[in-house]
Amino acid sequence: MSSFTDVRAKHPLETQLKTCLGKKPYKCSECQKCFSDKYKVVYHMRIHTGEKPYQCSECQKYFRNKYCLVQHMRIHTGEKPYQCSECQKYFRDKYYLVQHMRIHTGEKPYQCSECQKYFRDKYILVQHMRVHTGKTPYQCSECQKYFAQKIYLVNHQRIHTGERPFNCSECLKSFKERNALLKHVKTHSVHKMEQYQCSYCHKYFTQKYNLVVHIRLHTGEKPFKCAECLKCFMRKDDLVAHMRVHTREKPFQCSECQKYFTAKCSLIKHMKVHTGEKPFQCSECQKYFKTKDSIVAHMRVHTGEKPYQCSQCLEYFRYKNDLRQHIKAHDK
């Protein structure tokens, strides 16, 4: 019995009949899988032989077929030919566009055969099924321990490597996991947390640097300028992240779908597409959101807050994008 069900799949009898009628006359000698075209068998056989005849001229990585190479090259060129008709977001691969469109349509075509729960993505269903099967496919090469998800293996391996990527900005102590860092930060005393105070709004900060950056919100100072487009920024980190728009550098990669991002925060937001995590809940209507920005924007529906003002006609708007659209009307 299959561990998961694709609710869109054709009846298995139909597939069987096609094979019997000669619709799939080409069979793999290794696994006996049948194909309708000879070239599909050739491509499929490379799974067994490990042959990868197509090479990327940029990074020398090899691929099993030309299609995969073409898709990969878009990482280097930055090309994203597939656009979402709902939100105009672009994608490098048609597969990712199809997956993304389900966010708008709400479609969840993959159903768990154990608990009947539906999922947007087949990969998420596979991950979910491990709750029922107890399957743990990721193994640590050091101690041979198994894990259900890749992220759990990555966290575990830091025990062996000694890597501590999460640093406390107060005492510079390092931690293997983010949760351990968050727990540690709470141990710092309240009086230390109130060491630096803003003279404008009286907000407290743990570090002088954070206070300096915060004051720029009041003064409007933006000391870091982009040499390419002359756009200015309050923080150097923001300038560094912005420069990737010009260089097309995308150093942050999703471990699940290999998509690249210019900023780490974008990767963190993206990861919630795979996990389905929505940790932020509205206290008014109990609706859940994936990011803090989303819930902050949503709360304005309840509070009536309109923080964005047009400098030309002084009209207020609930969302920044609404203000942008409004300003275009003035520019016409």
The answer to whether residue 286 sits within a structural domain is: yes
pLDDT tens, residue by residue, 41-54:
888 888 888 888 88
- pLDDT for 142 equals 82
**pTM here?**
0.35
The answer to whether residue 270 sits within a structural domain is: no
Number of neighbouring beta carbons within 10 Å of residue 96: 19
Same domain, residue pair 28 and 104: yes
Number of neighbouring beta carbons within 10 Å of residue 75: 19
- pLDDT for 232 equals 92
Domain that holds residue 332: 278-332
The answer to whether residue 218 sits within a structural domain is: no
Same domain, residue pair 111 and 149: no
The answer to whether residue 202 sits within a structural domain is: no
Q: Which domain CATH number covers 153?
A: 3.30.160.60
The answer to whether residue 82 sits within a structural domain is: yes
The answer to whether residue 216 sits within a structural domain is: no
Domain count, the chain: 3
Residues of the chain with pLDDT under 50: 1-21, 191, 193
- pLDDT for 22 equals 58
In the structure encoding, which two tokens stand for residue 227, read together? 């040499």
Same domain, residue pair 167 and 109: no
Same domain, residue pair 114 and 23: yes
- Pick from 331, 274, 253, 312: nearest CA to 102: 274
The answer to whether residue 245 sits within a structural domain is: no
Domain end (from 66, 89, 118): 118
- pLDDT for 6 equals 44
The answer to whether residue 315 sits within a structural domain is: yes
- pLDDT for 223 equals 92
Domain end (from 154, 185, 216): 185
